[in-house]
Amino acid sequence: MAMNHPQGSLRVRVLLFARYAEVVGTAEHEVTVPAPATVADVVTALRSDVPAARILPERPLCARNASQALPEDAVEPGDEIALLPPLSGG
């Protein structure tokens, strides 16, 4: 999967929801980060790739492949990292 990427880096899909999608102006963005990488590295990469993303919190609530994740959790190539605004269902 990582063959079409530079050696030692990995590509992940970032999903944005609700207010985060609104302020960044997109619901989805792909980022490339040096391997090994954590969820926090993906957030940092998004913030440097997309100027509008700098308005997001530095440590938003995140999910990795649809499960809640901590900033220090490792990411794998092809992962889906979601940035979740404070929940308000119900």
Partner 1 sequence: MPFLTSDPLDLEAMVASVADPARGALASFVGTVRDHHEGRVVTALSYSAYGPMAERVCHEILEEAEAQWPVRVALRHRLGDVAIGEAAVVVVAAGAHRDEAFAACRFVIEATKRRVPIWKRERYVDGTEAWVDPTAPGGLVPAKHPAASRARS
Residue 22 binds partner 1, judged by CB under 8 A: yes
Distance CA 90, CA 80 (A): 25
Distance CA 72, CA 90 (A): 30
* Interface residue with partner 1, options 1, 3, 7, 66 (CB under 8 A): 66
Residue 78 binds partner 1, judged by CB under 8 A: no
* Choice between 30 and 34, CB closer to partner 1: 30
* Choice between 5 and 19, CB closer to partner 1: 19
Pairing of β 28-34 and β 9-16 = antiparallel
Measured between alpha carbons, how far is residue 78 from residues 21, 34, 56, 64, 73 in Å? 21, 14, 23, 11, 15
* Interface residue with partner 1, options 15, 42, 45, 53 (CB under 8 A): 15
Q: Rule CB under 8 A: which residues touch partner 1?
A: 15, 17-19, 22-23, 25-27, 63, 66-67, 82, 84-90
